[in-house]
Amino acid sequence: MMALPFLDLPPLAGASGTVRLPGSKSISNRVLLLAGLAEGTTVVHDLLDSDDTRVMLDALRALGCGLVRDGATLQITGLSGRLPVHEAQLFLGNAGTAMRPLTAALAVLAATQGGRFELSGVARMHERPIGDLVEALRPLGCTIDDLGTPGYPPLRLRGEAGGRLATDRAIHVRGDVSSQFLTALLLALPLVAGEHDVVIAVDGELISKPYIQITLNLLARFGITVQREGWARFTIPAGSRYRTPGHIHVEGDASSASYFIALGAIAAHGGAPLRIEGVGLDSIQGDIRFVEAAQAMGAQVSGGPGWLAVHRGAWPLRAITLDCNHIPDAAMTLAVMALYADGTTRLDNIASWRVKETDRIAAMAAELRAVGATVTEGADFIEVTPPTAWRTAAIHTYDDHRMAMCLSLAACNPARVPVRILDPHCVAKTFPGYFDALFGVAHALPEDVPVITVDGPTASGKGTLAAELAQRLGYELLDSGALYRAAGLAALEDGVSPDDETAVARLAATLDLRFADGRTWLRGHDVTDALRAEQAGMLASRVSALPAVRTALHGLQLAFRRAPGLVADGRDMGTVVFPDAALKVFLTASAAERATRRHKQLISKGISSNIDSLRADLEARDLRDSSRVVAPLKPAEDAMRLDNSALTVEESVERVLAWWAERRPFAAASAAAKG
Ligand code: DC
């Protein structure tokens, strides 16, 4: 899908149903590295497919690991701890879970087996600290060159074959900036724990302990049992070797679950809970403890292995004060739940937010203020008081997936104002399908879902324009002509006369029509091409003149009005079906131009035709469509007319998007939003 510049969320009124979470980022990237270093082939199930895992996979491929996709699984044949490739330049995007462990692993491999590896990322990655890890590796005997600002990527790791590391004394690492440094050492040092125990000593209070627990848990799955004394000293026993577990399943992402737990707490008030699958109360991920925090705010949560069910309990939510050190990522979601609380919520001990994908304390403060909240931020805390007046804001996302996912929950606001998410594509870092998943379970009141209608005569280019608009806005698409065409085809199949109003209406009312992946299925068979044929158009023109048929298809058309929005094309979209549409376009082109376009279209399909008779057909259909008694083709009174005879598709799209921009309420707020 193309990267949308923004996605407008209508106010969300409720949530229900089931959402299935993608695999955990933290587990996925650890599993990939372990499998890549281990001996043997590991079959990975439910791996997350996202930006961060993609850079890790690219790196492993460049280092010589065997990767084979087999349906839903990935087979990785590891290096058995031996480097087949001794030089590589690895681009790791903004994936801390790739940068830190690969730095450690390649530093010790280069130092002992010889090699030269350069690791870099996007600009933000070069602002994310790695100095504490480098300082831990250098005394061990690793050669690490700073290629930019010392203490930050990019880095070069190099060494000669036969080098020895000083593993006979404890390796010291700071634990109070990012737990990823310790994770990196824990994942890398089994590579050099051949002759004696390797000891890692943590200096300072270790933050984000649950992530270390995940690391230890996965190391155990790959045959390495680390002994620990509290959270201060970790020993990798001599003779440790990575061995593949054969198969490994990646749990759903507990941090991703937090958005749906919050959604349930805020919006699942219709009786049935919101069900979340892929992660449950048995999760090994620390962020599962977000459940307790959400419960403290009032959420009703139940669950079991691999599933959770959430519904609204206390309402408004209860304001809390919480030390969030144990749930650094998911705590961001609490900051947004705080918008719906009965007082001021304070989240403490979140200094690590400042060194994540963006400075998350500053970003969160700015964007919560943009929707109307009162926010106080400190070096390591944030305080949020709910809005007294909600503002219609365009939310900056700072190339931070969690900012986008968190702030989408502002769409549940009681003031029923929409929320614009800028650069929504950033969710691809960990949850590419986030917005589809959100709209799968969160619903808006139909009257809150914006509709753009595109009506006009046949072959005016409505379909092309509507499809392009829907794509650019991330909206649903309704090609209402396809419904009439399908009704006509169904009549033909059943030997029903297209003029038999009762019989055709009966067929239309129970039309088994599905749209999926750009194809259209009628009664289980693919009618995509048959629907576009002239014969189907002629049949449609006849059956669509029958009032009972139009009535039968009315409800089906209304059902397309779903979050985040709808672009509907046809003849009566603006006049009859969606009279309250936010923007109505009446698209025309001269009959000569339309006949020429249709002619070209047919030629491109290898069908010969005659322009004059095409034009005569078009005019006959226009006449029938506009002179029929019910829902005749005519512009709505408030429609914007667009004659595209002399316009390219792109020009028409830009024209309509400009009209749309004028009607959306976001423009003013966006300038104030970036703090
Ligand atoms: O847009 P189209 O060419 O696919 O439409 C096929 C026929 O269906 C057209 O002749 C008129 C009819 N139609 C209608 O009556 N109302 C609509 N909303 C859409 C199509």
Amino acid at 472: R
| Shortest-distance atom of ligand 1 to CA 531 | 4
pLDDT score of 100: 97
pLDDT score of 674: 40
For ligand 1, whether the C-beta of 594 sits within 6 Å is no
* CA of 582 relative to ligand 1 center, distance in Å: 22
For ligand 1, whether the C-beta of 557 sits within 6 Å is no
For ligand 1, whether the C-beta of 458 sits within 6 Å is yes
For ligand 1, whether the C-beta of 456 sits within 6 Å is no
The sign of the dihedral angle between the CA atoms of 337, 339, 344, 346 is positive
* CA of 474 relative to ligand 1 center, distance in Å: 24
Q: Angle 319-325-326 (CA atoms, 0-180°, nearest 5)?
A: 95
* CA of 648 relative to ligand 1 center, distance in Å: 23
* CA of 1 relative to ligand 1 center, distance in Å: 28
Substitution site in 451, 453, 455, 458 for ligand 1 pocket (most atoms within 8 Å of beta carbon): 458
For ligand 1, whether the C-beta of 572 sits within 6 Å is yes
For ligand 1, whether the C-beta of 571 sits within 6 Å is yes
Q: Using an 8 Å Cβ cutoff, are 348 and 368 in contact?
A: no
Residue from 287, 329, 479, 622 carrying the catalytic annotation: 329
For ligand 1, whether the C-beta of 97 sits within 6 Å is no
For ligand 1, whether the C-beta of 621 sits within 6 Å is yes
What would you measure as the largest C-alpha separation in the chain, in angstroms? 92
Q: Which residue has 């009959």 as its token pair?
A: 591
- Which architecture characterizes domain 6-22+251-443 according to CATH? Alpha-beta prism (3.65)
Substitution site in 571, 588, 619 for ligand 1 pocket (most atoms within 8 Å of beta carbon): 571
* Active-site annotation holds for 329: yes
Same fold yes or no, 25-249 and 446-666: no
pLDDT score of 2: 63
For ligand 1, whether the C-beta of 550 sits within 6 Å is no
Q: Which residue has 């009966």 as its token pair?
A: 506
Q: Angle 446-450-456 (CA atoms, 0-180°, nearest 5)?
A: 110
How far lies 661's CA from each of 579, 646, 664, in Å?
20, 23, 5
Beta-carbon neighbour count of residue 555 at 10 Å?
Answer: 9
How far lies 454's CA from each of 289, 476, 549, 584, in Å?
48, 13, 21, 6
CA distance 483 to 522: 10
* CA of 481 relative to ligand 1 center, distance in Å: 4
| Shortest-distance atom of ligand 1 to CA 577 | 18
* CA of 451 relative to ligand 1 center, distance in Å: 18
For ligand 1, whether the C-beta of 457 sits within 6 Å is no
For ligand 1, whether the C-beta of 484 sits within 6 Å is yes
pTM for the model: 0.88
In eight-state DSSP terms, residue 285 is S
CA distance 291 to 297: 10
Amino acid at 197: D
Substitution site in 453, 478, 479, 484 for ligand 1 pocket (most atoms within 8 Å of beta carbon): 484
Substitution site in 453, 462, 480 for ligand 1 pocket (most atoms within 8 Å of beta carbon): 480
pLDDT score of 282: 87
Task: Convert 629-663 to b/e letters by CB count within 10 Å (16 or more is b).
Answer: eebebebbeebbebebeebeeeebbebbbeebeee
Task: Convert 7-33 to b/e letters by CB count within 10 Å (16 or more is b).
Answer: bbbbbbbbbbeebebbbbbbbbbbbbb
3-class SS at 539? Answer: helix
CA distance 475 to 469: 8
For ligand 1, whether the C-beta of 560 sits within 6 Å is no
- For domain 446-666, which CATH number applies: 3.40.50.300, 3.90.550.10, 3.40.50.620, 3.40.50.2300? 3.40.50.300
Q: Whose CA is nearest to atom 11 of ligand 1?
A: 541
Q: Whose CA is nearest to atom 4 of ligand 1?
A: 481
Domain range list for the chain: 6-22+251-443, 25-249, 446-666
Q: Whose CA is nearest to atom 3 of ligand 1?
A: 458
Q: Whose CA is nearest to atom 10 of ligand 1?
A: 541
| 3-state SS record for 455-483 | ECCCCCCHHHHHHHHHHHHCCEEEEHHHH
CA distance 332 to 259: 10
Q: Whose CA is nearest to atom 13 of ligand 1?
A: 481
Q: Which residues contact 272 (CB under 8 A, 6 or more apart)?
A: 16, 311
Residues of the chain with pLDDT under 50: 1, 668-675
Amino acid at 562: R
Q: Which residue has 């900051």 as its token pair?
A: 335
CATH superfamily of 25-249: Enolpyruvate transferase domain (3.65.10.10)
CA distance 475 to 582: 14
Beta-carbon neighbour count of residue 321 at 10 Å?
Answer: 12
For ligand 1, whether the C-beta of 544 sits within 6 Å is yes
CA distance 97 to 38: 18
